[in-house]
Structure 1
């Protein structure tokens, strides 16, 4: 059987995604009860980071260890990848040595080329196009707190970049309505807008976008690699800061999420993560549990070979 890659939420069926999220909830319960569960004993995850990371690195590394396996951290400074070895060559070699690979990169093409040359599953740990692992955690967090997200309304406030693209894919796969509030010139990629169809709309006024929403979410205004645009972005995005007052316009039981790291005083007011409606810390923790469910799903368990 060919490897199951996870480069976007569209690589799995809607049922598979729900299954992974529900499994994440079960694995979280096992961990909270102190149950040792090691289906991936002797399995190894190779992790390639072209961008810095806190949550992605720790959640994948800790997740593999908790599942009985190991994770190897590879940075461009320490490997031939940073010295120009072709991606295809690296994929052919690495995939003969490890059981899965996770890559955090800039260009999404790096992922597609690696996947095309890999014998083992490849996971997108973030690219300039999307961040599907974060969406697994976000969906798990919503389901834990509020039940099914199907038919609900989500407001994305901020930059129509990789996280927003993944929210569009999630709207399709998890069947919710998505309102995107972004300044002119910061819209999501038209390919993603076309994919979203009538589930997704751009609403210029952030207040209108948030009005009645069940989930309000945002991300930093300046992503990694865009630092030179910071001043210009701050000016364009100033009206899009999510505050407690803006959140008051949402549904009475609305949740607020942020994939972190947060720039308090920019995309969110200084006090927003302390608001009882914010579930950002649960959301961050759920990266661990959702990704463990993902790893369990795509890596062949050790006992198949026993």
Structure 2
């Protein structure tokens, strides 16, 4: 049966089947190739898209804006910098108003319940550009990057995620991996493991797809054979108790010895950005002095190495979002 995503919102990857995810990945690759060769058609020239930003993210915002403009759509940024604030309008009222004017809404914020409420009341496609719970556009970009960086099919890949296993990146990667047959290892301190019901759910889905989702604490066991080692920011806006988070997560920073310990000479580094990797800048020096660590998340030597595909990954956020726009808005 042909895949048809027209008129659909994408708030998490839970809402998509494996076939729909594979369809989007093929569309991402196709749109990326057409832009590179100058053969891309503007299929959204009559569309208006609202980008509702309730948090700062240069990566999400830039990717949405370029994706829409490439396809000929008009984009309106709406957020605190443009005078929009939750204190003046409820989510429900904002969604009902924007849905009358715009053909689609991109949401970048903290609350998963907020983006779900936008989708409930807007009556136009809504895309989750990022919430604290889910990051579907990042994961689509990650999957495309893996495909472009390995000769293996996705269902033959071993992916290790180090760091905060409860993060939006880790959770979305687990959902996608469970559907696509990927062997994913989430390697975190136990206090940063995803909640048990979530792990049980993705593990059950993985059994049906031939994949495997493992949550563990031992880095050496988790990274052995990994084709990709992934991580994500340790901190988001509003996080507290930094010292305790650094203390627990420090052993899970990606250093040169971790890349070597995979016993796979082709292991690649992935990071969803922004990354704390350079202690010589002002913020890095302050953190190194305060917490006594030489690196957080990933060391500069690994981040800048030939094994790093971080910026290929970051670039792919744009065609990933473009694929969602085209798949859901083109008649």
TM-score range, shorter-chain basis?
over 0.9
* Per-residue Cα deviation, 1:35-57 (whole angstroms, up to 9, x for no partner): 24100002111111111011110
Give the Å deviation of 1:173. 2.0
- Supply the distance in 2 between the matched residues of 1:287 and 1:187 (Cα, whole angstroms): 26
Secondary structure of the 2:96 match is helix
- Supply the distance in 1 between the matched residues of 2:127 and 2:160 (Cα, whole angstroms): 27
Secondary structure of the 1:232 match is helix
Normalised by the length of structure 1, the TM-score is 0.93
Q: Which ranges of structure 1 fall in alignment gaps of 5 or more residues? A: none
- Supply the distance in 2 between the matched residues of 1:55 and 1:195 (Cα, whole angstroms): 30
Match of 1:238 among 242, 246, 250: 250
Give the Å deviation of 1:219. 0.9
Secondary structure of the 1:41 match is coil
Corresponding residue of 1:296:
326
Secondary structure of the 2:127 match is strand
Corresponding residue of 1:203:
216
Counting matched residue pairs gives: 300
Match of 1:100 among 104, 107, 115: 104
Give the Å deviation of 1:78. 3.1
* Per-residue Cα deviation, 1:182-217 (whole angstroms, up to 9, x for no partner): 112111133321221152111211122111111110
Cα distance change, pair 25–2 in 1 and its aligned pair in 2 (3 A): closer
Pairing 1:120–2:133 present:
no
Corresponding residue of 2:308:
278
User: Does the 8 Å contact 1:244/1:272 carry over to 2?
Assistant: yes
- Supply the distance in 1 between the matched residues of 2:169 and 2:40 (Cα, whole angstroms): 33
Cα distance change, pair 77–32 in 1 and its aligned pair in 2 (3 A): closer
Secondary structure of the 1:140 match is helix
Q: How does 1:125-144 map to 2 (within 5 A)?
A: 125-144=129-148
Corresponding residue of 1:61:
65
More deviation, 16-25/75-84: 75-84
User: Does the 8 Å contact 1:37/1:67 carry over to 2?
Assistant: yes
- Supply the distance in 2 between the matched residues of 1:8 and 1:252 (Cα, whole angstroms): 33
Cα distance change, pair 9–166 in 1 and its aligned pair in 2 (3 A): same
Give the Å deviation of 1:84. 4.0
Give the Å deviation of 1:263. 0.3
Corresponding residue of 1:86:
90
Q: How does 1:23-34 map to 2 (within 5 A)?
A: 23-34=27-38
Secondary structure of the 1:83 match is coil
* Structure 1 runs of 4+ with >6 Å offset: none
- Supply the distance in 1 between the matched residues of 2:175 and 2:197 (Cα, whole angstroms): 11
User: Does the 8 Å contact 2:111/2:132 carry over to 1?
Assistant: yes
Corresponding residue of 1:157:
162
Q: Could you say what the CA RMSD is over the residues aligned between the two structures, in angstroms?
A: 1.6
Secondary structure of the 1:106 match is coil
Match of 1:257 among 257, 267, 270: 270
